[in-house]
Structure 1
Amino acid sequence: MAPIPSLHTRARRRILTPAARCAAAIEVLAEIGSRRRPAADALKDWGLAHRFAGSGDRAAIASLVYDALRRRASAAWIMGADSPRAILIGSLRLQQGLAVPSIAGLFSGEGFAPDPLTEVEWERLSEGRLDTAPPEIAGDVPDWILPALREALGEEALLPELRALARRAPLDLRVNTLVTDRDAARAALAHAGAEPTPHAPQGLRVPIGADGRGPPLHVEPEFLEGWYEIQDEGSQLAALLAGAKAGETIVDLCAGGGGKTLALAALTGNRGRLVATDGDPRRLAPIHERLRRAKAQAEVRTPRGGRGRADVLEDLDGKVDRVLVDAPCTGSGTWRRNPDAKWRLRPGSLATRLAEQDAVLARAGRLVRPGGRIVYVTCSLIPEENDGSLGRFLAGAGGTFASVPAADLLAGAPAGLADAVRVTARGVQMSPALTGTDGFYVAALERRA
């Protein structure tokens, strides 16, 4: 058989065939696997090296790569191999539901298609099953994290939740009530099929396509005018459960790009003092333009670099009504969106996140006035990062803080949410199978004196 031409030789072609996209996805998966690179970086580099590939090609290749990473363990199981080629082939069956002849049509060896399916690959595709696979394989998670997820989710819900974590995430929007209302935004986005989210009162959900991508809502006139922000429903609910009120002094201590800062500004109607900061000043870069577009009012305090940098919040110590701690974490609750992150996660990473959580909680504790609250949020399903971190903080606080009961936390929640979340020892846990959201954890601590 003649050698398959390199994709580099296709410089004059503008549209890749589906088979050539599979070949490209295998290249990217090999790069991710060999160098342990984030998928986004490997995909970007592939696009730069293959400039003939249009945006549609790049989007389709990205979808193939992310689907393969979502089902990496189970695809390797049914194929009996863990090579990039085997994982992609297995994911075409498991994630996209393609029949064996359809997969064979993509792996024909003709033109720029990958080599034809071998006899063994035909057999594995036809007969491979997950019935006897252990839960970490059937659920596509690293084996070392399984005990923590079992503790968080329970034995009965474990596999359904893991499978939900391996599906594609929906495309959710938060309507900005500083500018418009949900009915108006829904009407403006009727062409995109926008419908209300199940729980968040200002949320809209837009259908995603067969490639797992939604429409380019960031170029719509309404987005440019601040009508909505792209934000998972779970993140919207976490901001809502913070209980922010007009007239309060509120600090968003780990504001990052400002998603929850914007939500807090809308919830208070810009009638409060809202301060946003982050330990990493680079993460704050997008917040200024987002605040302007959303017509949201917040004071952004950017720390300077260096060992001796000043504390930009020192003047607020003991004066803040509510501190939102959107804590650094493993991000296990967002694996639908970032499937490569779960395979790059190591036990040492968890230890690092726990130390960061301890530090940010200690800083939040100094900010809160007596009677004020810390609202602690993670996008994690790992109990040690959630109840565990709060337990460590409370143990060292000498009775200064107390957990707010989940019933109080949920008192102002939308109807039905209390029945959908898991109540933990110190907070509430959302999850893909139970609430249809990313895996957000929310808890609150109140300062007694």
Structure 2
Amino acid sequence: MTPAARVQAAIDVLDLVIEAARSNGAPADRLISEWFRARRWAGSGDRRAVRELAYRAIRACGEIPATGRAAMLRVAADDAQLAPLFDGSRHAPAPIDPDEPVADSGVAPGWLMKRLADNGVEHPEALLGRAPLDIRVNTLKSGRLELPEGAEKVAAANGWRYPPETRIEQSRAYLGGMIEVQDAGSQLTCEVVAARPGETVIDLCAGAGGKTLALAAAMKNAGRLVACDADRTRLQRLPPRAERAGASGIETLLLDANREMEALKPFVGAADAVLVDAPCSGTGTWRRNPEARWRLTEKQLERYAAIQSRLLDVAATLVTAGGRLVFVTCSLLDAEGADQAAGFLARHPDWRAELPALPAGTSRGAGLRLSPSHDGTDGFFVARFVRL
């Protein structure tokens, strides 16, 4: 593909991403992969270039753009080398009309920018930088592990960091299950659980099990670890991951959304620790999913907050006296963080908050906030409660 053809390809991809954002369709990564799957003639250099152009445009536009062309024109307005490629040649975008619409620049939609400011989020532009590649050394299998070159230590106990473009999945350490890809902030939230060998620990919203595997390593495969989720497809990804990681004895439990207690009855009052990594807006993960900020609405935020409150109440019934409940969201909004923690304590006077002792983060209400600008991690809120 010529450079100009790559620009037009990025515009075509952006049109798909914009439409999906408006209709709550597939994420950008999947759309881009599917677009290239139908164009196998495109080389690896073309794929990389088109992908980078598309994500530059996504990151450049705060509000959802009208079209992919308007989004790419936003990038071209600040890139003297890009604008001349709109030359109307074969497979190239049409020449730029001085009067045609150009998408507005910005970090996020206006209502969301106000929320971030009101919630004390500083340097929101950091939410759109490229995320590094963080890995967790799997202490169940590390042995004489030799990390691939280029690693830098991070605050998480077993965490290391690589540049964004690192292809760690082809390394011997990854293929052998000695390391897992996991953001340093995610690793730190698992440390707050302080899971110990011999305990009964429940990961209530386990998904595909990234945090479950970290808990299994902390427990040294000794105790009872139950991974729960209402998404069968995601939960089914955990057993093969656990086998590769050498994490034995993890139980999986499929829940029925809004009827979780039907499956959880045997665990009432039995857990030493419960982790609630609740569904949320994902405002802390924009570095990885920048188009997510175009999808979020105030009504959706309210729905997430309601789900989080309900799951916290469910989790509280599972914890034994003296046990702990850890609440985590990958969000920087108080509605999904400090306000949730305050609401939980108001509803449950037989619990108290313990401020997590981490080598990163800033206090926010009863918990801690991790952020790209302050900690170099994805954005998280984490709170730890203890049953009296």
TM-score by length of 1: 0.79
Q: Which residue of 2 aligns with 1:184?
A: 145
Indicate if the aligned counterparts of 1:227 and 1:294 stay in contact, CA closer than 8 A. Answer: yes
Indicate if the aligned counterparts of 2:59 and 2:290 stay in contact, CA closer than 8 A. Answer: yes
How far, CA to CA, are the matches of 1:174 and 1:320 in structure 2? 26
Greater Rg over alpha carbons, structure: 1
How far, CA to CA, are the matches of 1:83 and 1:21 in structure 2? 17
1:272 to 211, 223, 237: 223
| 1:365–1:33 Cα change, 3 Å | same
Q: Does residue 1:446 correspond to 2:381, yes or no?
A: no
2:158 to 173, 178, 202: 202
Shift of 1:234: 0.7
How far, CA to CA, are the matches of 1:56 and 1:295 in structure 2? 37
Q: Does residue 1:168 correspond to 2:118, yes or no?
A: no
Indicate if the aligned counterparts of 2:353 and 2:384 stay in contact, CA closer than 8 A. Answer: yes
Q: Which residue of 2 aligns with 1:250?
A: 201
AA partner of residue 174 (structure 1): R
CA root-mean-square deviation = 2.6
After superposition, what is the alpha-carbon deviation per residue over 1:172-222, rounded to whole angstroms, capped at 9, x for unaligned? Answer: 1111111116x8342xx11xx22222x1221121113xxxxx233223232
4+ aligned runs moved over 4 Å, structure 1: 118-121, 304-310
Shift of 1:298: 4.0
Q: Does residue 1:152 correspond to 2:152, yes or no?
A: no
After superposition, what is the alpha-carbon deviation per residue over 1:358-408, rounded to whole angstroms, capped at 9, x for unaligned? Answer: 2211111010001101000110001011121222222222x121111x2xx
Give the secondary structure class of the aligned counterpart of 1:391: helix
Indicate if the aligned counterparts of 2:192 and 2:384 stay in contact, CA closer than 8 A. Answer: no
Q: Which residue of 1 aligns with 2:74?
A: 90
Q: Which residue of 1 aligns with 2:85?
A: 106
After superposition, what is the alpha-carbon deviation per residue over 1:423-444, rounded to whole angstroms, capped at 9, x for unaligned? Answer: 0111000001000110011101
How far, CA to CA, are the matches of 1:310 and 1:351 in structure 2? 23
Q: Where in structure 2 are there 5+ consecutive unaligned residues? A: none
Give the secondary structure class of the aligned counterpart of 1:70: helix
**Superposed counterparts of 1:215-364, under 5 Å:** 215-303=166-254, 311-364=262-315
TM-score by length of 2: 0.91
AA partner of residue 94 (structure 2): D
How far, CA to CA, are the matches of 1:200 and 1:105 in structure 2? 46
How far, CA to CA, are the matches of 2:257 and 2:295 in structure 1? 29
Question: Which moves more between the two structures, 290-299 or 376-385?
Answer: 290-299
Indicate if the aligned counterparts of 1:89 and 1:103 stay in contact, CA closer than 8 A. Answer: no
AA partner of residue 401 (structure 1): W
Question: Which moves more between the two structures, 296-305 or 231-240?
Answer: 296-305
Give the secondary structure class of the aligned counterpart of 2:262: coil
Q: Which residue of 2 aligns with 1:400?
A: 350
| 1:111–1:48 Cα change, 3 Å | same
Question: Which moves more between the two structures, 434-443 or 144-153?
Answer: 144-153
Indicate if the aligned counterparts of 2:145 and 2:178 stay in contact, CA closer than 8 A. Answer: no
Q: What number of residue pairs does the alignment pair up? A: 384
Give the secondary structure class of the aligned counterpart of 1:403: strand
Give the secondary structure class of the aligned counterpart of 2:201: strand
How far, CA to CA, are the matches of 2:261 and 2:182 in structure 1? 32
Q: Which residue of 1 aligns with 2:55?
A: 66
Shift of 1:269: 2.0
**Superposed counterparts of 1:394-433, under 5 Å:** 394-397=345-348, 399-404=349-354, 406=355, 409-410=356-357, 413=358, 417=359, 420-433=360-373
After superposition, what is the alpha-carbon deviation per residue over 1:47-100, rounded to whole angstroms, capped at 9, x for unaligned? Answer: 2332322344333322222221111138x9xxxx85422322323565xxx4x1
AA partner of residue 270 (structure 2): K
| 1:307–1:244 Cα change, 3 Å | closer
